[in-house]
Structure 1
Amino acid sequence: MQSAVEQVRSSTQLPDLRPDDVELMYMVCAFETAWQRRRQRASVWCSFFDVASLRALEFAKDLEYYWNDGYGYELTHRIACPAIADMFAAIDPDEYQPQAQAMPRANATFYFTHSGTLLKLLAHLGLAKDEEALTHKHFGSERLWRTSEIDAFATNLAFLRYECEQEPPRVLVLHQERVVRLPGCPQNEDLCPLATLRRLYAHSVESCDFEALCQANDV
Structure 2
Amino acid sequence: MIACIFRLLFLVPVSLPLDFSTKTPYEPPKRVAFEEKDSICNCTAIQVNGILRHGSRYPSRRDMKSLRLLTRKLTSWLPVLDAHWSARMATWNFPSTLSEHREKHLHNRGEEEQYNLGRRIATSLPKLFSINPISKDYEFVSTDEERTLRSASAFGLGLFEGRGTLGSTRVEPIAVRSRDVNRILRFFDDCPLYIQSVSKNRSALVEETFYWEGSLMKKVAKRLSVQLTGGRNQSLLSVDDVRLFSRACILETNECGSSPMCQLFSDDDWRIVNYALELKNFWKRSYGYDINWKISSPLLKNVYETMRNKSKIGIFRFAHAETLLPFLSLLGLFKPSKPLRASNFDEERIFQASKIAPFSANALFLLYNCTKKKTSSCTVDGYHVKLFVNEKEERIPNCTNQTTGLCSLTTFEEIFKDDLTFDFDMACRPSNESTFAIFFLIVSSHALVLFLIK
TM bin, normalised by shorter chain, reads 0.7 to 0.9
Q: Name the aligned partner's letter for residue 218 of structure 1.
A: N
Residues 81 and 205, structure 1, Cα contact 8 Å, conserved in 2: yes
- Measure how far apart 1:81 and its partner are: 0.5
The more displaced of 148-157 and 18-27 is 18-27
**Counterpart for residue 9 of structure 2:** none
**Equivalent residue number for residue 78 of structure 1:** 294
Q: Which residue is 2:368 aligned to?
A: 162
Distance 1:24 1:57 in 2: 11
Larger mean Cα displacement after TM superposition, 132-141 or 150-159: 132-141
User: CA-to-partner distance for each residue in 1:136-188, whole Å, 9 max, x for gaps?
Assistant: 23212210011121121211101111012242100010000000001111233
Query: How does the TM-score come out when normalised to structure 2?
Result: 0.43
Query: What is residue 321 of structure 2 aligned with on the other side?
Result: 115
Q: Which has the greater radius of gyration?
A: 2
Separation of aligned partners in 1, 2:225 and 2:408: 55
- Quickly say closer, same or farther: Cα 1:142–1:106, change in 2 above 3 A: same
> Could you tell me which of 355, 377, 391 is aligned with 1:177?
391
Q: 1:33 to 1:115 in 2, by over 3 A?
A: same
How far apart are the structure 2 equivalents of 1:24 and 1:110? 36
Q: How far, CA to CA, are the matches of 1:84 and 1:67 in structure 2?
A: 21
2:277 to 35, 54, 61: 61
SS at match of 1:122: helix
1:32 to 247, 252, 260: 252
Q: Report the alpha carbon displacement of residue 16 of structure 1 after superposing the two structures with TM.
A: 4.8
SS in 2 for 1:163: strand
**Root-mean-square deviation (Å):** 1.9
Correspondence 1:195 to 2:410: yes
How far apart, CA to CA, are the structure 1 residues paired with 2:299 and 2:240? Answer: 33
**Identity score, percent:** 28
SS of alignment partner, residue 382 of structure 2: coil
Tell me the matched-pair count.
204
CA distance in 1, matches of 2:228, 2:404: 52
- 1:181-214 deviation line (CA, Å, top 9, x unaligned): 01111233321111111111111111x2222222
Alignment check: 8 A CA contact 1:62 1:147 kept: yes
Structure 1 unaligned regions, length at least 5: 95-104
Kindly state the Cα deviation for residue 6 of structure 1 after the two structures are TM-superposed: 2.3
CA distance 1:11–1:116, change in 2 (3 Å): farther
Of 432, 445, 453, which residue of structure 2 is paired with 1:218?
A: 432
Q: Normalising by the residue count of structure 1, what TM-score does the alignment of the two structures yield?
A: 0.85
Q: Does 1:52 align with 2:273?
A: no
Q: Which has the higher contact order (CA 8 A, sep 6+)?
A: 2
Gaps of 5+ in 2: 1-216, 373-380, 434-454
Counterparts of 1:10-25 in structure 2 under 5 Å?
Answer: 10-13=226-229, 15-25=235-245
SS in 2 for 1:127: coil
